[in-house]
Structure 1
Amino acid sequence: MGLLKSLEENYPLIDFIFQKFCESRGILTVEDFLIHDLNALISFAWSQPNSLRLKQGIDQLLSIVDNLHRPWLNGVELLKDVQQHKQTLSLAYGGIDPFLHVALREGFVTELVGPSSSGKTQVCLQAAASVAKGYADRVVFIDSGNSFYAPRIANLVNQASFSASEQANNEALQIVMKNILCYPVFDIFSLFDVLHQLELKLKNQMFSVRLLIVDSFSSLIIPLLGGSGPYGHALMISAGNLLKKIAQEYNVRVLVTNHMVAGEGGSAKPALGESWKSIPHARLLLSRDRESNTCTISVIKHPSMAAGNQWKFRICDS
């Protein structure tokens, strides 16, 4: 959706006057509009000289948002969609391959939760390298904490390359690096900007994306929660729904990482609270034994797997 200005050409009521009216209330984007108090906005519109046209603009903007919702589908249509379009990944690397093959499904937002140094970024990098090597589609890596490390990707590709030819191995590395698009973001608004740009490119079929990674989603949201009240939560849910929309409408696999916080009795729990729980289709917990360097991924929630299912593997940091 993006900036209100981008709607002006196709929707005459969202004109310069309406945009200035919204701007006076701090509304510059559709997301701003969605999290604003609608009743207060309408009351303010009625107090203006051109109140009727402003009210019509509000109604049109609501209609635009409503039309973006996908129609309801029956069970037969949903099953057909899964069988024809929603595929799992067949990846090139051992270790986490069973996890990636089962968990990263087209149309899914998969959340990987774990404490600090549990290996979340390593899993993301390995997934990115594997998908970029095995498919012609791109991987989009949204990096919120300078976690993307190109030499690590090169190391993974070299480990998985079995050709005796150095030239062939270099060509494989070039393909992987070309297929991974890395976007550094440091706040939620930059994330929205990247996601809207990505959605526009997918909609216009400018390129295809097989895997979208956000590492780490929680680090972008946490600064807005707590003192910001409902504003931060609204942005979190809006961003989560946008990720789900991209996943579902363009058959993209989405992997986001989240960290742990202290819960009741001192036990650790996923960050972002109860309102976030319904956003990911799958929630997976990553833990790591530092002595053996063995990682364990456990299912917290998954549509087709029982809670408690586990995979064990090792990740080399070098």
Structure 2
Amino acid sequence: MSPLKHLEKENPIIDACFRDFCFSHGILTVEDFLLHDLYELAAFAERQKNAARLKEGITLMISLIELQCRPLLNGMELLEDLQRNKHTLSTGDKGTDSLLQGGFREGQLTELVGPSSSGKTQFCMQASASVAENHVGGVLYIDTGNSFSARRIAQFICSSLDAALVQKVMSRISCHTVYDIYTMFDTLQSLEVTLRSQMNVDEYRLRLLVVDSISSLITPILGGSGSQGRALMVAVGYLLKKLAHEHNIAVLVTNHTVGTGEGGKTKPALGETWKSIPHVRLMLSRDHTNSSCTISILKHTSMPSGQTVKTTARKDNQQGL
């Protein structure tokens, strides 16, 4: 991203005074600004003599970032992207694969929405096992709530009686624990550097990136009426889509639901701004009386919404949601 000085011509408030303030906090570029703790930066600005002007500059920077994080693609670019080396990866569940016409599509971000205890994490672990085993690909699992279970993933591996195979498949899955949005940016930035250095390496290349759950990182920064949280949310969504597009990775994120206040109905969390980010949105619901799960399409780039598929949840070594 650009150095801050390049913004001054069209945005006079990003002047030498504002840049000096940013420099004192190690912020030299727009990217540095994005990765910084903005609440901490605003608190420092509040103690300066020119606090009002500095806070105005911070607000302007957030607005500029939000605008720049919305890539524009025309129809031909979208078609070429769909046809260029984009494959599907099995989710590990036959019903869901059928619903999605093969599974997750590389280069796209799929969001799985569902209430607490509906099976989102189990779905993510099953998908991780499936990609690592059946597609001989690498999986990066970003865990935001200490819900990752290597033992559970091992149980999803079909030939789980073969200890050597289980060990080989499990070695293709990496888990990183992330508890805040700033660590998330650091993790994605490091991942991008790693992927660029391995662009010509096909063996066990990263094929699936899981974030369980994205809403746990974003919800805490959306409070209040300011736009800082929204800008960071859009930026992390853009980075995930950028990684998916440039490196042919399937990205799977989970999101919780919130009540609408209308007859107990629920809807995906994170609001309308986030709604436009995923290529595919799936809703997962569970009937705890008979352990049946239903997955429905809320949004898809090439399929109509409303289609559903039912699966049966199973425990222990058997596959299921």
Which TM-score applies when normalising by structure 1?
Answer: 0.76
- Which residue is equivalent to 1:138? 138
Which residue of structure 2 aligns with residue 263 of structure 1?
A: 260
1:288 partner SS: strand
Partner Cα separation in structure 2 for residue 82 and residue 274 of structure 1: 25
Q: Is the aligned partner of 1:118 residue 2:118?
A: yes
Q: Tell whether the 8 Å contact from 2:110 to 2:253 is kept in structure 1 after alignment.
A: yes
Structure 2 portions without partners, runs of 5+: 5-16, 54-63, 317-321
Structure 2 residue 197 is matched with structure 1 residue 204 = yes
Pick from 284, 301, 309: which aligns with 1:311? 309
Report what 1:128 is aligned to. Answer: 128
The letter of the residue matching 2:265 is S
Q: Deviation string for 1:266-298 (max 9, x for gaps)?
A: 421110011111011111100001121111100
Give the SS at the match of 2:191.
helix
Partner of 2:89, secondary structure, is coil
Contact 1:91 1:100 in 2 (8 A): no
In the alignment, residue 254 of structure 1 is paired with which amino acid? V
Tell me the amino acid that sits aligned with residue 269 of structure 1. Answer: K
Cα deviation, residue 84, structure 1: 3.2
Q: Determine if contact 2:257/2:267 at 8 Å carries over to the other structure.
A: yes
8 Å CA contact 1:100–1:127 kept in 2: the answer is no
8 Å contact 1:122–1:315 — kept in the other structure? no
1:281 corresponding residue in structure 2: 279
Question: Counterpart of 2:139 in 1: which secondary structure?
Answer: strand
Give me the identity figure in percent.
Answer: 51
User: For the residues of structure 1 that align with 2:35 and 2:142, how far apart are their CA atoms?
Assistant: 22
Counterpart of 1:292, as a letter, is N
The equivalent position to 1:246 in structure 2, one of 243, 247, 256, is 243
Partner SS, residue 294 of structure 2: strand
- Counterparts in 2 of 1:28-47, with a 5 A limit? 29-32=32-35
Unpaired stretches in structure 1, ≥5 consecutive residues? 5-16, 48-61
> Secondary structure of the residue that 1:234 maps to in structure 2?
helix
Mapping 1:16-95, distance limit 5 Å: 21-24=21-24, 27=27, 29-32=32-35, 75=76, 78-90=78-90, 94=94
Q: Does 1:179 align with 2:172?
A: yes
Deviation (angstroms), 1:171: 1.9
8 Å contact kept, 2:90–2:130: no
C-alpha contact (below 8 Å) 1:103/1:282 kept by paired residues: no
Q: CA deviation at 1:156?
A: 1.1
Superposition deviation, residue 315 in structure 1: 2.7
- Tell me which residue corresponds to 2:233: 236
- What is the aligned length? 277
Q: Secondary structure at the match of 2:88?
A: coil
Q: Is the 8 A contact 2:92 2:127 kept in 1?
A: no
1:2: how far off? 12
1: distance between equivalents of 2:70 and 2:194?
19
Give the SS at the match of 1:280. coil
Once the two structures are superposed, residues 199-254 of structure 1 have per-residue CA deviations (whole angstroms, 9 ceiling, x without a partner) of 11111216621000000000111111123721111111110111111111111100
Deviation per residue, 1:53-99 (Å, 9 max, x gap): xxxxxxxxx9xx97x99895661x54344223111124665454435
Taking the TM superposition and a 5 Å limit, the aligned residue runs for 1:145-160 are: 145-157=145-157, 160=158
Q: CA RMSD in A?
A: 3.6
TM-score (norm 2): 0.75
Structure 1 distance, partners of 2:293, 2:179, is 28
Q: Shift of the alpha carbon at 1:136? A: 2.9
- Are 1:301 and 1:307, in contact at CA under 8 Å, matched by a contact in 2? yes
